[in-house]
Amino acid sequence: MSTPEQLRYSKEHEWLSAVEDGVATVGITEYAANALGDVVFVQLPEAGATVSAGETCGELESTKSVSDLYSPVTGEVTEVNQTVVDDPALVNSAPYEAGWLFRVRLDPAAGEPADLLSAAEYTDFTSE
């Protein structure tokens, strides 16, 4: 299982890319995708919606269960990955590439939450 070093991770199993021009990309980890099983439906927040760190902003439905999607940061959704909405299996086959979920412009007042984990910390967290 891969855990890319350049990403930050939430304890709810979402990942966050580096912030570029105030915008970061969000997805779910390979660990979460494997635990969910085959993802068959993705509900994402709409572009323009405000999301809050730690709050539910969508859901993922798999052949095993339905799981809430949590935003790892606070900000405004700038883009959703329509390709994943049309082909949810990308969440399983390419969780860190084509399977990303949405992009968010971080609220400068909120910043990045202090509880996001490094790759090593997330690996330790998921091996407990």
Mean pLDDT value of segment 10-18: 95
pLDDT score of 111:
75
What single-letter DSSP state applies at residue 45? P
Taking only the tens place, the pLDDT of each residue in 64-85 is 899 999 999 999 999 999 999 9
Long-range contacts of 111-116 (CB under 8 A, 24+ apart): 112/8, 112/16, 112/19, 112/73, 113/10, 113/53, 113/54, 113/72, 113/73, 115/10, 115/11, 116/8, 116/9, 116/10, 116/16, 116/72
User: Residue 74 has what pLDDT?
Assistant: 96
pTM score of the predicted model: 0.94
pLDDT tens digit sequence for 109-118:
887 788 999 9
